[in-house]
Structure 1
Amino acid sequence: MTSAKAYQDGLAELRGVRDEIKPREKQLAKLQAELGKLRADRDEKIRTLGAYEKAKPDRLATSAGVSVIDVVALVPSLGPQTPASAPASTPPDTSATEDRPQPQNAAQAIKEPAGALAPDLRAPAQPPQPVDVTETPAPDTTEDQAPAQTPSAQPTAAAPSPAVTPATTPARPAPAVDEQERKLPSIPEGNDGDRWIYAEPNLASKRPNFKQADRQMVFLDAATGVLASRTGTVTLDLGTGSVAEILTAVYATVPTTVERIYITAGEPWLRNAERHQFLKDAVAQWLNGPLPQDWTVEASRGKDRQAGHLVHPRNPVGRWQRGDQHTEIRSVGEWFDAEGADPVTVRTAFIELWRALRRHWDDVVLMGSPSQTGRDLWARTIPAKEGAKWAGGYPVMSQEIRGLLHATAGQGRTELIKPPRVPERVPGWYESDRTFAYAKHTWTSGVGVPQRVTAAAFAAMTAKEQANALFSPSHWQVRVTIPQDWNHVGLLPAPAPASTSGDRPWHYPFEGGRTFTTWAGGAEINLALRNPIQPWRIEILDGLVWEKGDPLKDWSNKLKDAWRALRAVADVHGDEQQRQAARLASRAVRSILLYGIGTFAQRPRITTGSIELGANGEVPEIPDGAKLTGLSDTHVTWERNAGFARDQYAHPEWAAGVWSAARAALLSGPTGAKDPDTGKPARAGALHLPAGSILAFRTDAIYSSVRPDWPYSGEPGDYLLKGALAWEQHTPTTDEEFYDLQSLGRQALEAERS
């Protein structure tokens, strides 16, 4: 600011902007109120019409402009009954650009049938063999899958860390049952439920017979303008960092054959974030800004169903085209945190990543995201040799089973434990993070069509058959009773109360004497039955048991080998830039496995888009079934749930199994080091720390008030101490306080080690 006059003029301009904002805010509030009333009226009409005995969910969905999933959610009785096997003549879905939502069966509220008590798995026994397995791989002794060799079935106390005493643990709250707890879906009783047990006709995961197209990429620091490409580096003038300015500056320097521009720093999509209530609104406005002449938003490209923008608050994807030229602007944050690395180093990291993967896949191509790359690499490990098991492809489960797993199999455990469960002040703050955790749990997975095991069927089994079923890849509906004198963290996920779930739909009941009903994977059920403190009472209500196979093992082993090789380079290379590049590349391998597993879950496909406002700011019609998610000065943003697509790589049973095993290992699991007393893998996890010392969980990390003394060998699954504050702290009660302590703890540990 150069003068008082300029300052006063600026204030006048600011007031002008304020006066322009106010009427638009009022308009938006009015629109949102009107939209809310219309939606409520629409939903009521759907419920009324859905009561008609001949009502069809697809007809209602079309008339209402919503998806079939939304209709079934409002009128559960409209869930269609799918035959046990579809006609053999059903043609495969070859649609390239159309993702039609498919009908969903009713999500039936859990009933309270008689359960079959699970056996005591803590008794001495040899590891049981899986049910109906024709090819059983050798057991992986590093995995937590075999029964514990315990001399007695009596409960034993968890051994606390040596010479560590937590602050006094407050009195445990009395057990309470929240009447508003969400009800999870269940498999219908009898033949109606048995009809769910089939594989989708003409749909299986098969090895591709083509190589992905290579796409040239460049790396741009949007803050400094430095651009790195195969021809060298150049500094660009990006102006304000708009899409138009970036496209113009980049393609004035590089050839039109470049199809990906990775942003390494600067986040241009958040330049005006302070003007918006939500980050996604700022991103949408940036993506939909003015374009250079002849450029348009990409609408489609052959069989690419990902055309159009992805509006994400941190890692958006913008797609544009100019004639036959196509380009994407993406964030390198999809792959790893660049940690201030310059574009040349980031580009070197991608080269090192490709080289490490090339040792295992001759046809490797780095695709736009780690999830796409992970799925493509996995597909190239599917058996192709004639006569090999699953050479014809891995079958995709029925839509009903996929929908059930989507609703009942959560991902990583996220929990903040607050007073009075823990003291308001604690003696320290320690973060222990599992290294490359998911890679630890890919050695076995369920394959084929599952066997349904009802409570009656489970009760009719012998003890050995019951143990076989519980040690097989499985997913169980159970009634759980926590021991009366339990004084540690919860072991099994349960649906959080609908009114408080927010972004965390699962919670972990811990109150002694409490009974609740939930779904959980076989790994977690095993943990609850044979944890190192005291077994929980588990009653089997229903379940799905798969044949044991290893569809992810070869893929995972190759990725782990690439990860180890890159970490070795990062440790010993003499050039600092190469060390940093190798370190970033190793993290990219982790992302390939982590997000690759996530793609198997095949969540309902959410599509996003935006439409320019009409004259006088009038809101245009949005697509049928879409909902308004944002409104800027120039555009409205919408999103639509497109349901479950016919995806040949949809295997939520694999993702659910890995997630369940990872959550179980967060409580108790083997490490890569040996226990000197027993010669077996040393164990670590929350249950191996004192009661009252656990403060939070975050997917692969445990936060505690005492310092864990767990061996670390650098192997997948081992706990690495990442943060430490060795003095008294206020217990965090909000996410903001949690992240502040997390940051301080990491800084303090780094200072301690330097």
Structure 2
Amino acid sequence: MDRKTYTAELAALRQLRTEITAAEKQVAAAQKELDKLNQQRSRRVAGLAGYEGAQAPAVAKASGLSVGDVVRIAPLLDPTPAAVRAAKADDQAAAAAAAPAPAPEAAPVEEPAAAVAPVLTRPAPVPEQPAPTPAPVDVEDHRVEVVAEQPAPAEPAVPAPAALAAPAAQAAPTAPAAPVVPAAAASRPVAEAGPREMPTLPEGPTGARFEAVTTGLVSKRPNFTQQARSTVFLDAATGDLAVRDRVVRLDLGTRTPGEILDAVLHIAPGTERIYITAGAPWHDGAERYSTLKDAVAAWLNRPSERWTTAVGAGRDKLAGHFVHQHQPVGRYAPTTTPDGPVTEIRSMGEWFDPDGADVTTCRDAFRLLWQALRRHWDDAVLMGSPSQTGRDLWSRTIPTTGKWAGGYPVLSEELRGLLHATGGQGRTELILPPRVPEQLPALVEYDRTFAYAKHLWKSPVGTPRRITAAAFAAMTEQEQIKALMSCSHWNVRVTVPAGWNHVGLLPAPVTGDRAWVYPSEPGATFTTWAGGAEVHLALSNHLMPWKVEILGGLLFEDGKPLDEWGKRLKSAWADLTNLSTLHGDERQRTAAYLASRAVRSVLLFGLGGFAQRPRLVSGTTPIGEALPAGVEILGQDGEVVTWQRQAGFSRDPYAHPEWAAYVWSGARAALLDMKYRQGKEVIAHAGALHARPGTVVYFGTDGIALTERQPWPYRGEPGDYLLKGHLTGPVEHPTSQEQYLKLRALGRAELAEKGSDQ
């Protein structure tokens, strides 16, 4: 071969490389489209299982799958008779019992199953007296009321802590679940609720989708201005209506939605939004229904000759009413033009608790809220809910220059599902005797002021990098520390150290309504997911480090997508808080205070909006007609059945559960240990770990209750611990969350009466 031929072959090889690259891209795109279609087919097959008459052979023929594949996707469609399945299972169990156990074989280990995280601080001496062993407690969480049975006598086995855990914001995982492996010491009390299986990051092409973003879905800065809606404020108890700058008294009849709409629109034509400030008409006749939700659904769907449920348009086509026990949303249109203008009936409680304030004060609070936000956003508009308002205001802070000028990419649906399943929200836990006294010497409540606002300065951005146990083990100690301190989410196996006598540090999953507990018994071992802030605290707390083994994780780029949004909201909150103390008019002071609470709701629910849980679609169907597949019936009256169903993840450009999960993790860590800084210098600490062991009674999202006062400074800044209540003892220890909330109210009243120097 001469040089000329060699050169020609190189050119041909380069051309072939280009063609191969193009072909690979086509194959990848085709594979991606195929995966998407297969997922759609699986979802539809699973949805068909909701129809009582569905049969696997028919579904298999329609879908192009085998009957076995259909049954694996939707087990409810298994045509095998139950008796045959039971006999087959018995035969398999007998065969397994008779088969000799295979001889163990040494298998080569390609990578470690877990990598032990480094200790990040020198531990304090082990306490001489460990905490007493708690008795196991059966726990059931119903969100509104948490019920705990009386503790049973202690047994010789060492159980994990008894706790009441409130729901964390999450959804059913979309990834295959891997079982939690609790230690024997921890499994007994958790088993009563049942350890909940946590999803893991799969290998291969499936796992690659957990390190990806959704194609063509980006959070972009809007190029339009929101339109303000005509809004009025109604006291449904008295009939007082605040419309613009006047108040009129209405006759609301029996307070059905139709009567309220007729009365309000007669006085204020064109009204698009009615906020009920008092009276809660949706609770009328609630005693006739088995649940409060049934009563609300019946009220929302009360028949009217002139009004019907608004069907909306576009994405809101199936939205209809939103059924909630205390803060429902009714959407109505005239029966003559059901696709015409919509009027909403909403609760003022979405924004703040009016706490007896009249309609004029509520109207003034809304006006002050808008004015405070307008100073920081020229185009600020108050939307129907604080969640919608928060996300809209955030979208107007998306940078126009720099790396993220084009917007923030939305994570893949698989990764969003993982974060929903593994990233809990606020910590709610009632510590039961014998970990605390039966008779409390006092009940002292501390609440973190505007807590989440303190944790917005850094958030994860971009596509995460998967960290395996082997990759973590291969890092230097400095690289490991940096990874743990970065925006990250870790799958870990945790062991509570010997001699530990304080509260739990990391959440452990248990079955129930998205429940979490916080094991603290020495020797308890559990597998969980936790944010970098919590894992770092477990390794660096000043008492003693916990053993944390890294099973895997996701490491994001550190960014500031929420920083500007948070700064503006904090400034608006500070302005209104100052006005609530300095204004000369008492009504305006109250209105300013309520407006400051509304800013808190904008941030709190705006952040929750980023979590973008799988959608709940609600609707109504006339009695006698077939219901849509896979629905949950909420209630029915003589005319219609009200239902809701999971509609999966929407293509929401503002879906960022990684931001919500990271902020919630930081807030949970701050309940245990928060630093007060002056510049870069740490001048004080606060949090449960800085109280004496055995004095922490309750965790409540952004506050804690103890049996004694703490010397924690209060500067009025976001995140600071404020003394909120003090109930003088002896106090009988509450056995449920409901009992605790009653004691908390008494403590707040006593503190207000006697002052903080009592």
Q: Tell me the TM-score range normalised by the shorter chain.
A: 0.7 to 0.9
Compared with structure 1, are the counterparts of its residues 431 and 245 closer, same or farther at alpha carbon in structure 2 (3 Å cutoff)? same
Q: Which residue of 2 aligns with 1:239?
A: 253
Compared with structure 1, are the counterparts of its residues 504 and 643 closer, same or farther at alpha carbon in structure 2 (3 Å cutoff)? closer
Separation of aligned partners in 1, 2:734 and 2:53: 43
Compared with structure 1, are the counterparts of its residues 155 and 263 closer, same or farther at alpha carbon in structure 2 (3 Å cutoff)? same
Match of 1:656 among 661, 668, 671: 661
Separation of aligned partners in 2, 1:625 and 1:233: 46
Separation of aligned partners in 1, 2:526 and 2:562: 33
1:483-530 Cα offsets, whole Å, 9 max, x none, are 01111111001102x2xx3x4511111110111110000000011011
Following TM superposition, by how much is the alpha carbon of 1:681 offset from its aligned partner in structure 2, in angstroms?
3.3
Separation of aligned partners in 2, 1:409 and 1:42: 37
Alignment of 1:710-749 (within 5 A): 710-749=712-751
Separation of aligned partners in 1, 2:112 and 2:66: 28
Q: Which residue of 2 aligns with 1:206?
A: 220
The question of whether the paired residues in 2 share the 8 Å contact of 1:270 and 1:279 is answered with yes
Unaligned 5+ runs, structure 1? 1-37, 65-111, 123-152, 159-165, 615-619
Q: Aligned AA for 1:695? A: V
Separation of aligned partners in 1, 2:206 and 2:67: 19
The question of whether the paired residues in 2 share the 8 Å contact of 1:121 and 1:530 is answered with yes
The question of whether the paired residues in 1 share the 8 Å contact of 2:459 and 2:561 is answered with yes
Q: Aligned AA for 1:115? A: A
The question of whether the paired residues in 1 share the 8 Å contact of 2:440 and 2:730 is answered with yes
Separation of aligned partners in 1, 2:74 and 2:66: 16
The question of whether the paired residues in 2 share the 8 Å contact of 1:301 and 1:307 is answered with no
The question of whether the paired residues in 1 share the 8 Å contact of 2:126 and 2:499 is answered with no
Following TM superposition, by how much is the alpha carbon of 1:368 offset from its aligned partner in structure 2, in angstroms?
0.1
1:141-192 Cα offsets, whole Å, 9 max, x none, are xxxxxxxxxxxx232589xxxxxxx9x9644561331453111000113454
Compared with structure 1, are the counterparts of its residues 282 and 51 closer, same or farther at alpha carbon in structure 2 (3 Å cutoff)? same
Match of 1:330 among 343, 346, 351: 346
Please say if 1:197 is aligned against 2:197.
Answer: no
1:65-107 Cα offsets, whole Å, 9 max, x none, are xxxxxxxxxxxxxxxxxxxxxxxxxxxxxxxxxxxxxxxxxxx
Compared with structure 1, are the counterparts of its residues 522 and 196 closer, same or farther at alpha carbon in structure 2 (3 Å cutoff)? same
Q: Which residue of 2 aligns with 1:281?
A: 294
Alignment of 1:137-216 (within 5 A): 153-155=122-124, 170-172=132-134, 174=158, 175-177=185-187, 178-179=190-191, 180-216=194-230
Please say if 1:578 is aligned against 2:588.
Answer: yes
Separation of aligned partners in 1, 2:647 and 2:70: 15
Report the structure number with the largest CA radius of gyration: 2
Of Structure 1 and Structure 2, which has the larger fraction of its residues in helix? 2
Q: Which runs of 4+ in 1 moved over 3 A?
A: 38-46, 48-64, 168-173, 301-307, 631-635, 671-674
Alignment of 1:72-111 (within 5 A): none
Compared with structure 1, are the counterparts of its residues 192 and 609 closer, same or farther at alpha carbon in structure 2 (3 Å cutoff)? closer
Following TM superposition, by how much is the alpha carbon of 1:292 offset from its aligned partner in structure 2, in angstroms?
4.0
Separation of aligned partners in 2, 1:330 and 1:689: 42
The question of whether the paired residues in 2 share the 8 Å contact of 1:352 and 1:581 is answered with yes
Separation of aligned partners in 1, 2:508 and 2:354: 36
Separation of aligned partners in 2, 1:254 and 1:210: 28
Separation of aligned partners in 1, 2:388 and 2:600: 13
Q: Aligned AA for 2:535? A: I
Q: Which residue of 2 aligns with 1:320?
A: 332
Separation of aligned partners in 2, 1:199 and 1:232: 51
Deviating more after overlay: 731-740 vs 475-484: 731-740
Following TM superposition, by how much is the alpha carbon of 1:635 offset from its aligned partner in structure 2, in angstroms?
3.4
Separation of aligned partners in 1, 2:283 and 2:293: 9
Separation of aligned partners in 2, 1:43 and 1:701: 50
Alignment of 1:683-702 (within 5 A): 683-702=685-704
The question of whether the paired residues in 2 share the 8 Å contact of 1:573 and 1:579 is answered with yes
The question of whether the paired residues in 2 share the 8 Å contact of 1:566 and 1:582 is answered with yes
Following TM superposition, by how much is the alpha carbon of 1:633 offset from its aligned partner in structure 2, in angstroms?
4.4
Q: Which residue of 2 aligns with 1:353?
A: 369
Q: Aligned AA for 1:594? A: L
Following TM superposition, by how much is the alpha carbon of 1:308 offset from its aligned partner in structure 2, in angstroms?
1.0
Q: Aligned AA for 2:356? A: G
Q: Which residue of 2 aligns with 1:298?
A: 310
Q: Which residue of 1 aligns with 2:100?
A: none
Following TM superposition, by how much is the alpha carbon of 1:39 offset from its aligned partner in structure 2, in angstroms?
7.0
Secondary structure of the residue aligned to 1:621 is coil
Match of 1:511 among 518, 521, 526: 521
The question of whether the paired residues in 1 share the 8 Å contact of 2:531 and 2:662 is answered with yes
Following TM superposition, by how much is the alpha carbon of 1:738 offset from its aligned partner in structure 2, in angstroms?
1.2
Match of 2:391 among 349, 355, 375: 375
Please say if 1:116 is aligned against 2:99.
Answer: no
Compared with structure 1, are the counterparts of its residues 718 and 413 closer, same or farther at alpha carbon in structure 2 (3 Å cutoff)? same
Compared with structure 1, are the counterparts of its residues 382 and 632 closer, same or farther at alpha carbon in structure 2 (3 Å cutoff)? same
Q: Aligned AA for 1:280? A: K
Alignment of 1:577-726 (within 5 A): 577-614=587-624, 620-671=625-676, 680-726=682-728
Alignment of 1:169-568 (within 5 A): 170-172=132-134, 174=158, 175-177=185-187, 178-179=190-191, 180-256=194-270, 258-293=271-306, 295-301=307-313, 304=316, 307-322=319-334, 323=337, 324-385=340-401, 388-496=402-510, 498=511, 501=512, 503=513, 505-568=515-578
Q: Aligned AA for 1:569? A: L
Following TM superposition, by how much is the alpha carbon of 1:736 offset from its aligned partner in structure 2, in angstroms?
2.2
Separation of aligned partners in 1, 2:66 and 2:341: 53
Following TM superposition, by how much is the alpha carbon of 1:250 offset from its aligned partner in structure 2, in angstroms?
0.5
Q: Aligned AA for 1:710? A: W
Q: Which residue of 1 aligns with 2:12?
A: none
Compared with structure 1, are the counterparts of its residues 156 and 473 closer, same or farther at alpha carbon in structure 2 (3 Å cutoff)? farther
Once the two structures are aligned, what percentage of the paired residues are identical? 55
Q: Which residue of 1 aligns with 2:102?
A: none
Unaligned 5+ runs, structure 2? 1-48, 78-110, 136-157, 159-184
- TM-score of the superposition, structure 1-length normalised? 0.78
Following TM superposition, by how much is the alpha carbon of 1:307 offset from its aligned partner in structure 2, in angstroms?
3.9
Separation of aligned partners in 1, 2:536 and 2:453: 20
Q: Aligned AA for 1:697? A: F
Secondary structure of the residue aligned to 1:726 is strand
The question of whether the paired residues in 2 share the 8 Å contact of 1:663 and 1:699 is answered with yes
Separation of aligned partners in 2, 1:119 and 1:564: 40
Q: Aligned AA for 2:384? A: G
Q: Aligned AA for 1:408? A: T
Secondary structure of the residue aligned to 1:551 is coil
